[in-house]
Amino acid sequence: MVKQIHDQSSRKPRKVELRPSDFISIFWRSSFEQASWNYERMQNLGFAYIMSPAIKRLYPNKSDRIFAMKRHLLFFNTSPIMQSLVTGVVLSMEEQRANGGDVDDTEINAVKTAMMGPLGGIGDPLWSGTVRPVLSAFAASLVIGGFGIYGPILFFVAWNCARLLFRYEAQKIGYQNGTDIINFFNTGILKTVTKATSIFGMFMMGVIVARWVKVNFSITDQLAEQVTKLSGHFFGKLIGSGMTAIAAIGLTLICIWLIRRQISPIWIIIGLFMIGIIGYASGILSIQAFLV
């Protein structure tokens, strides 16, 4: 009897671990992080919602669950898609804490704060400034090329596959590496990636302007014909395409300037429609003045 009591007292408590079903549930919840976005603490409610399956698994005691949920209701804000990397690291820390590890509330919140800034800085240029515009441009080119509904379908499938695959892998990498992944931020690679995505985004902007923005003046064709008669077909074509290109670049720069002046894009679009209609009615612009 004494031996049995001694064996029970010396037996180590069973380690609490997250199950594959928990990771899948957390992964699907991550897409709804901004469903309850608020001005005071921004993404805190969404992050707490994402973490709730893990908290339920790791903390059987109700009071411990409440305490854990409260520490994830503090301010949190980062690039939505990059958030999964933070989630993975926090899952690792919560699991360590639930098993008696030396991890307190301050450390968990400090890690979240340290990660959300750099990831927000790289996530917005990468996803909102590069990946999505490139996919949108390719899909729109398919529509213009006569492929119709296949363009939007391709964008929908490609965008969601890219973001969901990244979320899943980022969550897994964050969980496997834990707080060691913060050392990755000190290598300078984030600045390199941010600069590279910005350069690529500007390159794609130039491609989009050259491919889609067309401003054709009625006088251009007449002027090109006159130059062709005097100097040959090459110079006539150069004059016509040169005026169109300069006008397209100028129109793009004006739109960018207006956006930076906090003018609503809706008003800019309405203004372009009005310029096109008035320009065609007055004979200044041709029927293909704006082709997007």
Task: Check: CB of residue 203 under 8 Å from CB of residue 271.
Answer: no
Q: Quick one: which H or E segment has residue 8?
A: helix 2-10
Residue 234 has pLDDT above 50, yes or no: no
C-alpha to C-alpha distances, 91 to 105, 186, 187, 256, nearest whole angstrom? 13, 22, 24, 42
For the whole model, what pTM was predicted?
A: 0.69
Residue 249: the pLDDT is 80
Task: Check: CB of residue 251 under 8 Å from CB of residue 212.
Answer: no
42 phi, psi to nearest 5 deg: 60, -100
CA distance 114 to 86: 10
Q: In sequence order, what DSSP letters do the residues of 259-279 get, joined into one string?
A: HHTT--HHHHHHHHHHHHHHH
Find the range with the poorest average confidence among 26-30, 219-223, 253-257, 262-266: 219-223
CA distance 163 to 31: 9
Q: Kindly state the DSSP code that residue 71 receives in the 8-state scheme.
A: H
What's the mean pLDDT when you consider all of the chain?
79
HSE of 157 in the Cβ direction (CA atoms, 13 Å)?
8
Query: What's the token pair of residue 218?
Result: 């009625």
Most confident of 88-92, 211-215, 223-227: 88-92
CA distance 141 to 138: 5
Residue 291 has pLDDT above 60, yes or no: no
Residue 242 has pLDDT above 80, yes or no: no
CA distance 264 to 49: 33
Residue 87 has pLDDT above 50, yes or no: yes
Mean pLDDT of 186-197: 70
Q: How many CB atoms lie within 10 A of CB 65?
A: 15
Name 38's bridge partners.
Answer: 42
